Amino acid sequence: MTKEQIKATILEIIAQIIPDEDLSNLKGDIPLREQVELDSMDFLDIIMELRKRYGIEVPEDDYTQLATLDGSVAYLEPRMREL
């Protein structure tokens, strides 16, 4: 997957979890939780959906790397390159 495809996938997952949020103006370098109503359970739902869809395991120690959209793409890109 390309970086743009990964970003689109992340946004799609977030849209499923918090469907009432407007994601069109998300900034890549600002923590997602500061931009949308995303609680810790929602965040875990995102992690679980990545595992379910793509078999990607994200260790709890790496959760901070997924705090921003840009960070999520950077973290997932090498793991999703072959998809």
Q: For the segment 39-48, what is each residue's pLDDT rounded down to a tens digit?
A: 999 999 999 9
* Res. 30 pLDDT band, cuts 50 70 90: very high
CATH of the domain at 18: 1.10.1200.10
- Host domain of residue 59: 3-80
d(CA 25, CA 60): 28
Is this prediction's pTM over 0.85? yes
Residue 52 CB neighbours (<10 A): 10
d(CA 9, CA 35): 18
According to the model, what pLDDT value does residue 81 have?
84
Q: Indicate the number of domains in the chain.
A: 1
